Structure 1
Amino acid sequence: MEKVTIRHASPADADAIAHFHVRVWRQTYRDLAPPEIYAALDENLRRNTWREKLAVADPDQIVLLAELEGRPVGIGAAGAPSDAIFGDLGEIKNLCVDPDVKRQGIGRLLLSRLALHLRERGFPGVGLSVVDGNEPAIAFYDAIGGKRAGEYTDAGPIWRSRNIVFVWADSLVL
């Protein structure tokens, strides 16, 4: 296998990220999301979201793109907390890895780099939420030392999902 590269995403990456995000999201949530939500969270919606996110000049925000042979195989995004449940922790807002290349350290590397960015921005720790029922992601966060810190309903763009919150109090995720 070729070497995976990780770089900061730019606005020019929005279309590729949206396509990748929808493909991975649909594989992950096909049995978890209600059918109408599954259909509605399409590439158009994701494209607009990623274009907006990548156009913002927020020093707390970071979006990383993992690529293999020029194609996206992972995305990660982090920034200031979006919900009170995270308190003063920085929030990992997106972490997606192509199922074809899982278990090769890409998710861990993305998460580590996102956490390092948040620590450098002064956040005392890192939090993220995962949809209840996404067992592979839950097992991953358990395995890398995430501590379960509660549950909440994520308002999401159109899906109000029940989520489990994981935290790393020292911002070091490895």
Structure 2
Amino acid sequence: MVPSFTLRPPRPSDAEDLAILHVRCWREAYGHLLSEDFFTEERLDRRRRLWAMLTAAPQPGRTIMVAESDGEVVGFAGGGEPLDPEEASFGQNLSMLYLRRDFHGSGAGQALFDSVLPPGRAFLWVAKDNPRAQAFYRRNGFALDGAEDVLEDFGGITEARMVRH
């Protein structure tokens, strides 16, 4: 049975749950790429601070939405104007999209994606070794453009840029 969900903007009271979910989704998506000592209390604390800031007030030019099921936040996405002005020529930016593994295939990922990223020119960065995510983005019109970056502060994971024209 496909789980049901609703979408809504995040609230300040969601910050703790979002921080925990963020780290859980990292573990589910990148656990095969990151050592266990990556998942520290300090990383969780940084996510707490991030989500406290993101839920405190709307971010100009950005949209954040959460997927909720049975009163529990199960996914989130953010998009809008590029965070880096040098990337403005690529259009809108999908800055994050994470969904609990048990909600993959439920339609929640697509709904989150559609809620934060309008049609048209856009870009995103995705882990190079994340074929499931890359397939999802290809279905939404994105293609790898050859740009890559190694995230030294994120366990050395290589990310690749995908663009939609």
TM-score for the superposition, normalised by structure 1: 0.80
5 Å matches for 1:6-155? 6-39=7-40, 42-83=43-84, 84-85=86-87, 87-116=89-118, 125-153=121-149
> Which residue identity lines up with residue 9 of structure 2 in the other structure?
H
Counterpart Cα distance in 1 of 2:6 and 2:103: 13
Q: Is the 8 A contact 1:2 1:69 kept in 2?
A: no
Counterpart Cα distance in 2 of 1:71 and 1:60: 27
Counterpart Cα distance in 1 of 2:113 and 2:35: 28
**Which piece of structure 1 moves more, 75-84 or 10-19?**
75-84
> Which residue identity lines up with residue 97 of structure 2 in the other structure?
L
Q: CA-to-partner distance for each residue in 1:94-134, whole Å, 9 max, x for gaps?
A: 10011001012111111111113xx6xxxx52211101101
> Which residue identity lines up with residue 5 of structure 1 in the other structure?
T
Secondary structure class of the residue paired with 1:150: strand
Report the aligned-residue RMSD: 2.3
Q: Is the 8 A contact 1:151 1:164 kept in 2?
A: yes
Cα shift at 1:34: 4.7
Counterpart Cα distance in 2 of 1:165 and 1:102: 22
Secondary structure class of the residue paired with 1:87: helix
After superposition, the Cα gap between the structure-2 partners of 1:162 and 1:40, relative to the gap in structure 1 and judged at 3 Å, is farther
Counterpart Cα distance in 2 of 1:3 and 1:146: 27
The answer for the alignment partner of 2:157 in structure 1 is 161
Listed as ranges, the gaps of 5+ residues in structure 1 are 170-174
After superposition, the Cα gap between the structure-2 partners of 1:41 and 1:22, relative to the gap in structure 1 and judged at 3 Å, is farther
Q: Is the 8 A contact 1:132 1:164 kept in 2?
A: yes
After superposition, the Cα gap between the structure-2 partners of 1:29 and 1:155, relative to the gap in structure 1 and judged at 3 Å, is closer
After superposition, the Cα gap between the structure-2 partners of 1:57 and 1:114, relative to the gap in structure 1 and judged at 3 Å, is closer
State the identity as a percent: 25
After superposition, the Cα gap between the structure-2 partners of 1:34 and 1:87, relative to the gap in structure 1 and judged at 3 Å, is farther
